């Protein structure tokens, strides 16, 4: 085991004391305020935007519409799918789409100006069901688009699923549904922009400041170097701040008016106008032999990307590659599609499609085990992926495959709980114990996924880590500093951090897909190693010793076997500076992957996977259908826990988000407007959480680390759903399991009540 010293979490004191300055907090006296005009219905054709009354208001400086955009009005996170209009031009594609932007001297005047803009909209036919969207002669969300309402259609084919299913001793066929889910991060989207020395400078919440800089430049018709982006402190994201939000509006107003501006969404605006988790419809046919070995799965996945592509392509592929779950299945046929509708657009949200398919594949595992008369946990252990076995995409897992360890670790908890309730459904409250397991590929799916970083030792004696990796509360600032410090043999407190400034840092890729510890962590370690090389080379000249005979010991370079023959690192750094050279190491890391074959879906889309198993204990009141998650045990294979406290925090936070997904969180387009009618778990809903982890070290990771951000969430909803289904005595196949659905199950509701058509 490698010990990695853990400092106090970077920024924690500022947050606790209320001193952290988020995007909108960057504001200064003299800033203009911005407000958006949003369509109150969709789809619709824009007949006229009358701005006269708004422009006549004292204090209104300007009203912008799509015709004022100097660059490209179609943005998006993935090349080839940039189709999101930030000011609707001819068509309003979803409720709440922005149509105009008002700049004014005060916030109140800006909002009054927005209310004064008159929209003339002509309703046009729309499509809100992804199944219908793919039928012939349906309205097109993007008229003239090649492919119509189909964003992507891909397959994974391994072996012969049809033939293998015919040979199975038991087969389970079922359909599962998940809903739109709102991110509900503590901080609503906000930021500020101004002009400095002829360049546009933006401070905003973000999960990828370098991407934001590039898209704002595209929007304004500028070169990227004309824009400087700062990731302002960001109060949570969960994927919702990967797409640009306020940045284009800030940039447009500041650049054209040449005045500083700021903008912040209200909670209602954030709920109305930002991306959601993709709702999914999933059809599964799974088969096993008499001994309980999985033989085949045939799966059909359909997601709803809403009005814009956003991360739809990535979600479609990741859902497909994870659809069989963390199990060895010799024969697989998966079809994965994602469709446009006029619903609110769906983007990245913690898990990228894996939470949806995990709900389905875990329910299938329960049903198969029950049909075979096997214990659900033992059935999972029997079929769990092991080292040397291949995933659905044919990727042979050669190392760091900790699922069996996770399942074995959770076994005593699971068995103890089962004994404690003395047989389920004893007493007035209905009780159930459920299981969920998962695996999650670290990083992007089957595409290059690099990160870069630099570590410098200045002539003044500072040691500085430069990273573009956005910390959105998950703690990457602290972990990356730990890794650099470990490589240099310094205390973490010795390092300063420069993060998320596009002028001073290079691209580290998005804070998404649980990639920063593994990918940026490797880049940081490589940068520290490069800095060490530079220092040793200079010290070797000073001591007239070959670099291979020297060692770095914190603040000093020593000759091996002769510790008295040494030079201070600072002296070597100052010697370099006198020669006009910098002691600045560069690091880059790109995971070793193999792209998925377009026809068969075979390939190695991720360099490493995280694994986990969770158990949930629930109580259901049969009179009211009120459901309480009493306990959750969560065991995660994280590779190496760089910061154990952060890992525990991620697991506990992920469990709470999973409880929300399982029982209460459902965004209903046109009906959900605020946190009064969108329910998220509170402390009153928190179960007793027992976080645990196994360390199946990943050889390609920084000191063996992988990641835990997304994995912390993924098994919880499946485990809770499994427990509730067991408590009520019938499978429940639509999330969330709200009061109405549980009551329908308790009262013997039919399939239509429990699993209505569509997503």
Q: What's the pTM? A: 0.96
CA 438 – CA 548 distance, rounded (Å): 45
Instruction: For residue 634, give the 3-state DSSP assignment.
Output: strand
CA angle 152, 139, 153 (to 5 degrees): 10
Cβ(610)–Cβ(711) below 8 Å: yes
The C-alpha atoms of residue 706 and residue 702 are separated, in whole angstroms, by 8
Q: What is the pLDDT of residue 425?
A: 53
150-158 and 84-85 strand pairing: unpaired
Cα 354 off chain centre by: 11
- Contact yes or no for 701/662 (Cβ under 8 A): no
CB-based contacts of 235: which residues, under 8 Å, 6+ apart?
A: 22, 185, 186, 187, 205, 472, 473
Q: Roughly how many angstroms between the first and final C-alpha of the chain, as a whole number? A: 47
> From residue 675, how far is each of 30, 107, 270, 362, 670 by CA, in Å?
33, 23, 11, 30, 14
Instruction: Please give the full DSSP string across 278-316, using - where no structure is assigned.
Output: PPEEEEEEEEE-TTS-EEEEEEEEEEEEETS-TTHHHHH
State residue 422's pLDDT score: 73
3-state SS assignment for residue 148: coil
Instruction: Give dist(CA 68, CA 50) in Å, integer.
Output: 15
What is the full DSSP assignment across 169-219?
SEEEEEEEE--BB----SSPPEEEEEEETTEEEEEE--S-HHHHHHHHHHH
pLDDT, tens digit, for every residue of 615-648?
999 999 999 999 999 999 999 999 999 999 999 9
What CA–CA distances, in Å, run from 486 to 405, 415, 552, 559, 658?
28, 40, 12, 20, 34
For residue 606 the two structure tokens come to: 């991720």
Predicted local confidence at residue 426, as pLDDT: 65
- Length in residues, the chain: 759
Q: Which among 214, 273, 210 has a CA at the least distance from the CA of 245?
A: 273
- Reduce the DSSP state of residue 34 to 3 states and report it: strand
Listed as ranges, residues in the chain with pLDDT below 50 are 1, 750-759
Q: How far is CA 603 from CA 89, 393, 597, 599, 616, in A?
A: 41, 6, 6, 11, 34
């Amino acid at each position: 085991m490698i010990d990695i010293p853990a400092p106090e979490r970077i920024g924690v004191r500022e947050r606790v004391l209320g001193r952290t300055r988020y995007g909108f907090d960057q504001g200064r006296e003299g800033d203009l305020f911005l407000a958006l005009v949003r369509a109150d219905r969709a789809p619709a054709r824009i007949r006229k935007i009358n701005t006269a009354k708004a422009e006549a208001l004292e204090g209104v400086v300007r009203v912008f519409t799509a015709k004022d955009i100097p660059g490209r009005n179609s943005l998006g996170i993935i090349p080839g799918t940039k189709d999101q209009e930030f000011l609707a031009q001819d068509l309003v594609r979803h409720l709440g789409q922005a149509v105009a932007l008002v700049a004014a001297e005060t916030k109140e005047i800006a909002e009054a100006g927005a209310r004064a803009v008159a929209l003339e909209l002509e309703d046009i036919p729309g499509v809100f069901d992804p199944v219908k969207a793919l039928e012939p002669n349906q309205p097109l969300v993007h008229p003239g688009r090649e492919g119509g309402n189909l964003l992507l259609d891909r397959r994974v084919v391994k072996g012969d699923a049809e033939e293998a299913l015919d040979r199975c001793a038991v087969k389970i066929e079922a359909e599962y549904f998940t809903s739109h889910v709102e991110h509900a991060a503590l901080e609503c989207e906000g930021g500020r922009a101004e002009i400095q020395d002829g360049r546009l400078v933006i401070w905003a919440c973000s999960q990828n400041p370098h991407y934001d800089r590039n898209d704002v430049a595209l929007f304004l018709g500028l070169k990227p170097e004309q824009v400087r982006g700062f990731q302002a402190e960001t109060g949570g994201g969960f994927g919702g701040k990967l797409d640009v939000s306020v940045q284009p509006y800030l940039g447009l107003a500041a650049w054209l008016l040449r005045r500083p501006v700021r903008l912040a969404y209200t909670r209602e605006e954030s709920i109305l106008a930002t991306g959601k988790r993709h709702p999914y419809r999933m059809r599964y046919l799974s088969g096993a032999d008499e001994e309980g070995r999985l033989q085949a799965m045939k799966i059909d996945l359909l997601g709803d990307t809403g009005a814009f592509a956003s991360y739809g392509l990535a979600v479609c592929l990741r859902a497909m590659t994870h659809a069989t779950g963390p199990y060895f299945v010799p024969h697989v046929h998966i079809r994965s599609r994602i469709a446009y509708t006029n619903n609110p657009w769906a983007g990245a949200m913690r898990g990228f499609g894996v939470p949806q398919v995990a709900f389905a594949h875990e329910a299938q595992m329960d049903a198969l085990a029950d049909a075979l008369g096997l214990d659900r946990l033992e059935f999972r252990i029997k079929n769990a992926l092991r080292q040397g076995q291949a995933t659905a995409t044919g990727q042979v897992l050669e190392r760091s495959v900790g699922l069996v360890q996770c399942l074995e670790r959770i076994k005593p908890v699971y068995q103890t709980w089962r004994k404690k309730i003395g047989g389920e459904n004893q007493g007035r409250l209905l009780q159930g114990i459920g299981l969920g397991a998962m695996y999650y590929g670290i990083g992007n799916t089957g595409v290059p996924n690099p990160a870069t970083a630099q570590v410098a030792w200045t002539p003044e004696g500072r040691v500085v880590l430069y990273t573009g990796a956005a910390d959105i509360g998950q703690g990457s600032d602290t972990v990356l500093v730990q890794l650099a410090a470990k490589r240099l043999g310094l205390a973490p407190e010795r390092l300063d951090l420069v993060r998320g400034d596009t002028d001073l840092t290079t691209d580290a890729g998005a804070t998404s897909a649980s990639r920063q510890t593994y990918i940026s962590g490797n880049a940081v370690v490589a940068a520290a190693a490069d800095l060490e090389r530079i220092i040793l080379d200079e010290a070797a000249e000073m001591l007239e010793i070959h670099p291979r005979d020297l060692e770095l010991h914190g603040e000093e370079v020593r000759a091996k076997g002769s510790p008295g023959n040494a030079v201070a690192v600072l002296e070597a750094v100052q010697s370099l500076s006198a020669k006009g050279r910098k002691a600045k190491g560069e690091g880059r890391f790109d995971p070793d992957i193999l792209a998925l074959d377009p026809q068969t879906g075979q390939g190695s889309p991720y360099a490493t996977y995280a694994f986990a198993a969770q158990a949930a204990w629930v109580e259901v009141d049969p009179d009211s259908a009120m459901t309480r998650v009493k306990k959750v045990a969560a065991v995660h294979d994280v590779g190496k826990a760089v910061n154990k406290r952060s890992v525990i925090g991620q697991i506990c936070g992920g469990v709470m988000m999973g409880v929300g997904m399982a029982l209460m969180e459902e965004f209903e387009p046109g009906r959900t407007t605020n946190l009064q009618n969108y329910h998220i778990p509170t402390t009153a809903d928190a179960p007793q959480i027992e976080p645990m982890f196994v360390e199946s070290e990943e050889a390609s990771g920084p000191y063996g680390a992988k990641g835990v951000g997304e994995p912390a969430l993924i098994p919880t909803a499946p485990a809770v759903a499994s427990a509730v289904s067991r408590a009520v005595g019938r499978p429940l196949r639509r999330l969330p399991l709200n009061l109405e659905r549980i009551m329908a199950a308790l009262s013997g509701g039919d399939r239509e009540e429990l699993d209505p058509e569509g997503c």
